[in-house]
Structure 1
Amino acid sequence: MGQNISDVIERYLKSIMTDQERDLIEIKRSELAKHFECVPSQINYVIRTRFTVEKGYIVESKRGGGGYIRITKVQHTDHLDLYDQLIELIGGSIDQDTGKSIILRLLEEGAISKREGNIMLATIEREVIALPMPSHRDAIRANVLKAMLSSLKYKI
């Protein structure tokens, strides 16, 4: 199966962070576009969709001649901080894709087991929350995710 350019760019940026053992990288959009022989808007798309807060990144952008994009991987001192941040981020409504990103981040950070992740993913499926109104479904999904995160904060 062929890789699309977005996957390649994402993997490249993450590998820079990993190889340099850094939680922050600064890149020039134009140089990256030239490197991958693509338009700068492709770089914007990758950063906007693959390096989100839900996935554990903060992105800052400075436009202009000396413009750059700074991507920072957020590190938490413990899982309680992470749970609290995600509960706040979820708010009153969340779509399935964003919910999935949050659960995958919990897995990546070692805050939940693979089994717990699979259970959480199953509970937020749109087929499970089978309501005719997407807004109601997203509100219930948000409540369910926040309840699961809250329960993870306390050892039983």
Structure 2
Amino acid sequence: MGALERDPHLHQRGRLRRLERGAAAVRAAHGQLIAAPEKFAAPYFGEEYTAYARELLFAADALLLGRKTYEIFAPVWPNMEEIEGEYAVRMNTLPKYVASRTLTDADLTWNATVINGDVAKEVARLKEQPGGNILKFGTGELSRTLLENKLVDELHLWM
């Protein structure tokens, strides 16, 4: 394991675990949150990053996304299996829970279920179910809600 994985100040990604486990993903650069990592992060996506991202994804058995992250991921990941292999297959086959005030289940096409209403209560209910980790990608209001309600067990930052 390299320095990036050992130093908790350099690596933050949250994991919402079921029962005692759980995850949230945040990327930061130069002290600022970056909303579009594909625009800045490619040079940092080396072997260490890839191995760690794979470890987190394959330890999860569900994904938690906010509406904006879902809307960014859903049209892209189904087309990535040929390029990204098993990682994309795993990303595409995991069930996804999407926190949104505006989307409905009918709007979701990527193996996803909408969470509306009391998101904190619903995520707490999901965490009580047996299974592996719930991995959360993205930043923003959903992250804030999860942190305020003490629903994130691990937080890993990529900087």
Q: Which structure has more RCO (C-alpha within 8 Å, separation ≥ 6)?
A: 2
Normalized per residue, which structure has more helix? 1
The TM-score with structure 2 as length reference comes to 0.30
The TM-score with structure 1 as length reference comes to 0.31
Rg larger for: 1
